[in-house]
Structure 1
Amino acid sequence: MTNLLYRTKGDKVIWTIVIFLSLVSLLAVYSATGSLAYREKGGHTEYYLVKQLSVLVMGLLIIYFAHRVNYTIYSRVAQIGFLISIPLLVYTLAFGSHINDASRWIHLPIINLTFQTSDVAKLALFMYVSRQLSRSQHVIDDFRKGFLPIIIPVGVICVLIMPANMSTALLLGASCMILFFIGRVPLRFLGAMIAAGVVMIGLMFLIAKLPGMEMRAKTWSKRIDSFMNDDHTEVPYQVQQANIAIAGGGMLGKGPGNSTQRNFLPHAYSDYIYATIIEEYGLFGAFLILACYMVLLLRSIRIYRKCPYAFGAFLAVGLSITLVIQALTNMAVNVHLFPVTGVTLPLVSMGGSSVIFTSLAIGIILSVARNVEEMEGKQAERERLEKVMAAQNEAAA
């Protein structure tokens, strides 16, 4: 373990954020899974604590080994990952596990693992888009040579994710648009991308109303209507319970493990874990969690500005943007500033595959940071040697 800590490199602030959010996750998940443990595990609340601990330890190991890999290798992996993610998403739509009228998960019977294929697709897409964007900088103003090679992959993945998980598809498209803007894609192309997205959403609503697919359209419409409706009698049950939890938290909260709404709030350990944190740790805890994600974004922007190579720069800032947007969306849903979605809080919500792929994304960001750190160290060493040689030459003269 000591050797691992010694060999750990990259941005130390990001490492600190990861460890802090992991500790918050353990406390929040242990507190929020009481009712779930009572129903599913006969009251053994330690089961979910141990499970989450094992997942987080695995995630930290993934971050460590991913950050030790030279980030340029991810450019080659990106092509394979993107090509694999397409049939995975198609298979999920056709044969995936159906939960809440949506097919988002694949179950692997041999290892008894269920994972959300959109997590694979998101990570692969950002690596692939970063690769294409870096290779197209000299022709980025050309629609056919510069823009089409980066927009087509985004469109394909978003279209395949949208039928079962519209919120994830929209967030993915928004994250890619921000990355395109950073990558100097002309505004006229971004405008066309927005228009195409609006048309696609309209088509999805029409398709979802076809016989046999009405449930998804009803779900989408109900969530938007309940968010826009000022009539408090129409507010969804989970939103009501989240509001009660937030109101009860006050400035400093009720204290760790003292949440009462965790017994009534659906998915208090995943989708609505932020409301549970606010109830137990108050507004102070809420702003501290928010600050962690903001600092993560700022440190990634710092990596972006210091990285001399376009692929590494786009990779670091792109992956951080999608993680932060996901976190902000989860927080906004919890405080009723955004319609209900199934988006979790990265590294905090209870999960398996989501934590693993989030950890892999952070490991890749740290890989870029490690490369920047090593180059800065070599540059500083060269400058030191030049000063020493200059001093020696001056003394000899």
Structure 2
Amino acid sequence: MSLNLVIAQCLLLMLGLIGVATAEPNMVPDHATKILIALALTFVLSRLRPKAFLKLATPFWIFSLALLALVLFIGVGGEWGGGRRWLDFGGPVRFQPSEFAKLALVLQLASFFARRGPGKKLLSATMMIVTTTLLVLLEPDLGTTVLVFSLGIVLMYAAGVRFTSIGLILAALTLFALPFASIYLEKNPYILERIRGHQESKIDARPEGATQIDLAHRDMRDGGVYGQGPDAPKYYLPAGHTDMVIASVGFSTGLLGVATIIFAYWLIVQSGLSAAEWASRIRPLTPELHGASIMATGAMFMIVGQAFVNLAVAVGVFPVTGVPLPLVSYGFSSLLAKSVAFAVMHSALREVHRHLPGKTPETIPAAGD
């Protein structure tokens, strides 16, 4: 297993536990149990070869689409604008299908481009991205929609699709979507309300009292450099254990803890890009190795892209989106999906490393190393 990824995952999970303990102490036992399950899942699945993930990609993607469609009929939620984002079958069986749809799209496009190559049947790949994105958009969940679509474009680039082809696809999709944009915004007014509220907060720091972002900034300021610890008395912060968990971490561990989270995400970026860089040295590049390289890049962006959006919201650059901080926020669906993404990266890195030029049987790491 990749040491950098192990360090990154453990750091994020540990700081996430501190953040949950700060915001909602009663949830610590439940969150700690889920962390152990997530770590075990990463360890077990990381032992698989990339071809196993690629073989399961299409069934997993179709199943994820079925779950996304099911959400539109029996989904629960409705915090804003009547959105349906979760499936709840009673007891502990409650999850958010869009979290697994992102992972399914990574594996499906990696499998598709590994078999077809980057220059053929781009319409099919585009329809895979559009179908997944559209189902998430209809929930509605605009923040996750943007992440899913961006993930698909990044995967195209990672597979070797030309910039000109990607540009033409983006232009065509934009022209097609424009006539429907006003209808969608009219049907989901909360989106414009959030954008307007975000713009007003930049003109007047407190247009109608302290906003959620104001409260998050207050907690991070109170944390200082080294933090006050999870047991220190603090004010209530809405979503302090989920979307705004970075503020809880900042309060408890200070600037040092926030910097550690950013460092952990940097390790993930470095690991994902290493797989692509190593794969570029291998000739011939087999379909499995090509797929492994795409999977590693996609899994990396799936984690770090979402982290970027969450942190941008926390500092006030983006309006509130409801996107959790990967491996740090409380939430089992996100935790499980990102843990599998880590396993995918471990598997891909090991496979690409084993085929680097100059490797001999004596220097090739054993499976799982």
Q: Same fold (TM over 0.5)?
A: yes
| Aligned residue identity for 2:251 | E
Out of 9, 13, 19, the residue aligned to residue 18 of structure 1 is: 9
- Give unmatched runs, 5+ long, in structure 2: 283-288, 365-369
RMSD: 2.3
Distance change >3 Å, CA 165–CA 259, structure 1 → 2: farther
1:106 pairs with 63, 68, 87, which one? 87
Residue by residue over 1:258-306, the C-alpha shift from the partner in whole angstroms, topping out at 9 and shown as x without a partner, is 2613x2x111001000011122222222121111101111112112222
Size of the aligned set, in residue pairs, is 350
Question: What pairs with 1:1-397 in structure 2 (closer than 5 Å)?
Answer: 10-34=1-25, 45=26, 48-100=27-79, 101-109=82-90, 112-137=92-117, 140=119, 145-163=120-138, 164-199=140-175, 202-203=178-179, 205-208=181-184, 214=187, 216=188, 218-229=189-200, 230-234=203-207, 237-258=211-232, 260-261=234-235, 263=236, 265-307=237-279, 308=282, 309-375=289-355, 379-381=359-361
Contact 1:64 1:363 in 2 (8 A): yes
Conserved? CA contact 2:293–2:352, under 8 Å = no
Contact kept in structure 2, 1:175 and 1:321, CA below 8 Å? yes
The SS at the match of 2:161 is coil
Q: Deviation at 1:209?
A: 5.3
User: Going by fraction, where is helix more abundant, 1 or 2?
Assistant: 1
- Per-residue CA deviation, residues 112-171 of structure 1 (Å, 9 max, x unaligned), is 31100101211111100111122333x61xxxx331121110000001101211110101
Q: In the TM superposition, what whole-angstrom CA distance separates every residue of 1:153-204 from its partner, at most 9, and x where no partner exists?
A: 0000001101211110101211222222232222222223333454566455
Cα deviation for residue 378 of structure 1 reads 9.5
- Which structure has the bigger radius of gyration? 1
Distance 1:369 1:302 in 2: 8
Contact kept? 2:11, 2:260, Cα under 8 Å:
no
* AA at the equivalent of 1:281: T
The 3 A distance-change label for structure 1 pair 31 and 371 is same
Structure 2 CA distance for aligned equivalents of residues 297 and 362 of structure 1 = 12
**Unaligned 5+ runs, structure 1:** 1-9, 35-44, 385-397
SS at match of 2:95: strand
Q: CA–CA distance in 1 between the matches of 2:177 and 2:249?
A: 33
Moved more, 52-61 or 360-369: 360-369
Aligned CA distance change for structure 1 residues 231 and 314 (closer, same or farther; 3 Å): same
The normalised TM-score by structure 1 is 0.82
Distance 1:155 1:108 in 2: 28
Match of 2:360, SS state, is helix
CA distance in 1, matches of 2:296, 2:165: 23
Does structure 2 conserve the Cα–Cα contact (< 8 Å) formed by 1:275 and 1:335? no
The answer on whether the counterparts of 1:67 and 1:370 sit within 8 Å (CA) in structure 2 is no
Percent of pairs identical after alignment? 23
Distance 1:63 1:219 in 2: 37
SS of residue in 2 equivalent to 1:104: strand
Question: Would you say the 8 A contact 1:106–1:116 is kept in 2?
Answer: yes
